[in-house]
Amino acid sequence: MSESTTPQNGPQGHRTVLLRGGDVHSPADPFATAMVVERGHVAWVGSEGAADAFADGVDEVVHLDGALVTPAFADAHVHTTATGLALTGLDLTRARSLGEALALVREHTAARPHDRVLLGHGWDAARWSDGRPPTRAELDEAAGGRPLYLSRIDVHSAVVTTALLDLVPGITGRTGFHADAPLTADAHHAVRAAALGALTPQQRAEAQRAALRHAASLGIGSVHECAGPDISGEDDLTGLLRLAADEAGPRVVGYWAQHGEEGIARAKELGALGAAGDLFVDGALGSHTACLHAPYTDSGHTGTAYLDAAAVAAHVVACTEAGIQAGFHAIGDAAVSAVVDGFRAAAEKVGLARVRAARHRVEHAEMLTPETIAAFAELGLTASVQPAFDALWGGDDGMYAQRLGAERARTLNPYAALLRTGVPLAFGSDSPVTPLDPWGTVRAAAFHQNLEHRVSVRAAFTAHTRGGWRAIGRDDAGVLVPGAPADYAVWRTADLVVQAPDDRVARWSTDPRSGTPGLPDLTPGAELPVCLRTVVFGQPVFVRPEE
């Protein structure tokens, strides 16, 4: 990709830019090769011949050299500081055994002699040859007696050292405390707060910058930060929103996961869009804390319930009347049922039309039934989901099958059924649970491990671009049409194709007469597109150095 420029007229975001000589993914013109951006918005999309009329009147011409232009991705569920810490600190996702994990802890401990608390993320004993997490004694030895917090890959449990426990008064009396097993529930929330509270403002800002820079390098133009008092703290959210406002990078939309009137008031004060996000109704399957109707196959209990239907209903009513979004974290089928029952009770009180108009959200929503899917559609709920979960944990031999048995596991993450029923989808990563990887996310949905749950690449791409904007109440963005915000990415990729899970659909949509714009080939094993440039509101926030 090359470019020629004329003298700048005003701020970067106010310049008029012509992109030409590539492929522009736009419903306004499925064969578009050029686009004009003016004052931070898309002004025109069309053909190469028509682009000549604009060439002399713009501040910059970007020659795409065959590159693809798409809307920038929107990641609808991110923990930004934790993502940055995982990128720059102790990442255990690559550990294949307990021994490797402990070796990484020792290396990290030696490399960070001055940190008040050591932090790491990503261990997954279900994938280790040993099959068990480290004991506290093993961690105390590996960390040299220093405070250490290691979150499991799903971030719903953690193993810690004795020195960190000593920093949390009353920890042994909290729900979820185990003398020599991963901490869950309130005990986990308390040690996480202590660990993150030990970060200096400078460390936190460095982690946030690292995460946002990485997101921009992947063509992500906006992220939904899922914060809360049990997750990351008020200073973390306000610092992130301030950093995003002051520095060029992806847009950040904040959510604050606190229940009730107090939570709504705090969400407004902190600048959050809603009292939503990871407002926990339950935990996660990997940590045996997702709340189920029937017991886990590999454990004799049904998980953990944090909120019941009555609490859900009260929060939805309060948020609806306050004019902000409500939202909940719900993974297990019992948790999803509680959410549905709560929303229905709220609709009876304030009216179904008001509940639907508020576009409330449910995060994860993994264990669904035809009845709860129909309820999502009826209540106008957005399903904020993470396709990479299936790629990582699905299949007959994956973690889902270990926890639930193969039959129940096959029902998880039914994206095709959600779309058929009319439930809006917004895709995200839940980073650092799974990495920021937008094209990989689209691929995971299109090539779901259960054939019945697969959706077309086009539908998955829409859920990861326009779906994120719709989830925050914006129907005018996430698509390259005149008047839309100029949030876009430029990609180096191979030939464009149309991929669909049903051969009949594929045959129709690949016919040129259908006017269906192509997208990169995401067949597993194919090389994913490389981001050359990311632009937010007309302003470049990432340019690949060699371009």
Q: Which of 36-40, 87-91, 148-152 has the lowest mean pLDDT?
A: 87-91
- Nearest C-alpha neighbor of 467 from the set 536, 368, 387, 378: 387
Q: Are 74 and 224 in contact (CB under 8 A)?
A: yes
Convert the pLDDT of each residue in 228-256 to its tens digit. 998 888 999 999 999 999 999 999 999 99
State the sign of the Cα–Cα–Cα–Cα dihedral 49, 50, 56, 59. negative
Q: Which two tokens stand for residue 499?
A: 């991929």
pLDDT band at 318 (very low <50, low <70, confident <90, very high): very high
Q: Are 501 and 419 in contact (CB under 8 A)?
A: no
Rounded to an integer, what distance in angstroms lies between the CA atom of residue 119 and that of residue 432? 13
Burial class (CB in 10 A: 0-12, 13-18, 19+), 172: exposed
Residue 198: the pLDDT is: 87
Residue 44 β-bridge partners:
36
Helix (H, G, I), strand (E, B) or coil at 150: strand
Rounded to an integer, what distance in angstroms lies between the CA atom of residue 283 and that of residue 289? 4
For the cut 80, the answer to whether the pLDDT of residue 1 exceeds it is no
Convert the pLDDT of each residue in 99-108 to its tens digit. 999 999 999 9
Convert the pLDDT of each residue in 43-79 to its tens digit. 999 998 899 999 888 999 999 999 999 999 999 999 9
DSSP state of 56: G
Residue 14: the pLDDT is: 73
Residue 15: the pLDDT is: 86
Which residues 6+ apart lie within 8 Å of 365 measured at CB? Answer: 330, 331, 336, 376, 383, 384, 385
- Nearest C-alpha neighbor of 224 from the set 207, 212, 239, 213: 212
For the cut 70, the answer to whether the pLDDT of residue 10 exceeds it is no
Q: For residues 112-120, give the mean pLDDT.
A: 90
Helix (H, G, I), strand (E, B) or coil at 351: coil
State the sign of the Cα–Cα–Cα–Cα dihedral 21, 22, 23, 26. negative
Convert the pLDDT of each residue in 129-152 to its tens digit. 888 999 999 999 999 999 999 999
Rounded to an integer, what distance in angstroms lies between the CA atom of residue 76 and that of residue 139? 34
Residue 354: the pLDDT is: 98
State the sign of the Cα–Cα–Cα–Cα dihedral 292, 195, 326, 262. positive
DSSP code per residue over 246-275: HSSS-EEEEEE---HHHHHHHHHHHT-SEE
For the cut 70, the answer to whether the pLDDT of residue 12 exceeds it is no
Q: For residues 255-282, give the mean pLDDT.
A: 97
Q: Are 113 and 259 in contact (CB under 8 A)?
A: no
Provide the CA 329 distance to its chain's centre, in angstroms: 13
pLDDT band at 502 (very low <50, low <70, confident <90, very high): low
Which residues 6+ apart lie within 8 Å of 524 measured at CB? Answer: 443, 447
- How many other C-beta atoms can be found within 10 angstroms of the C-beta atom of residue 235? 14
The mean of the pLDDT values for the chain is: 93
Strands of 340-424, DSSP E: 361-364, 382-385
Which residues 6+ apart lie within 8 Å of 347 measured at CB? Answer: 355, 379
pLDDT band at 200 (very low <50, low <70, confident <90, very high): confident
Q: Which amino acid is at 22?
A: G
Q: Are 224 and 428 in contact (CB under 8 A)?
A: yes
Helix (H, G, I), strand (E, B) or coil at 340: helix
Burial class (CB in 10 A: 0-12, 13-18, 19+), 342: buried
DSSP code per residue over 69-101: EEEPEEEEEE-HHHHHHHHHSEE-TT--SHHHH
Rounded to an integer, what distance in angstroms lies between the CA atom of residue 192 and that of residue 204? 14
For the cut 60, the answer to whether the pLDDT of residue 457 exceeds it is yes
Residue 442: the pLDDT is: 98
Rounded to an integer, what distance in angstroms lies between the CA atom of residue 399 and that of residue 190? 27
- Nearest C-alpha neighbor of 432 from the set 276, 207, 266: 207
Q: Are strands 425-427 and 488-492 parallel, antiparallel or unpaired?
A: unpaired
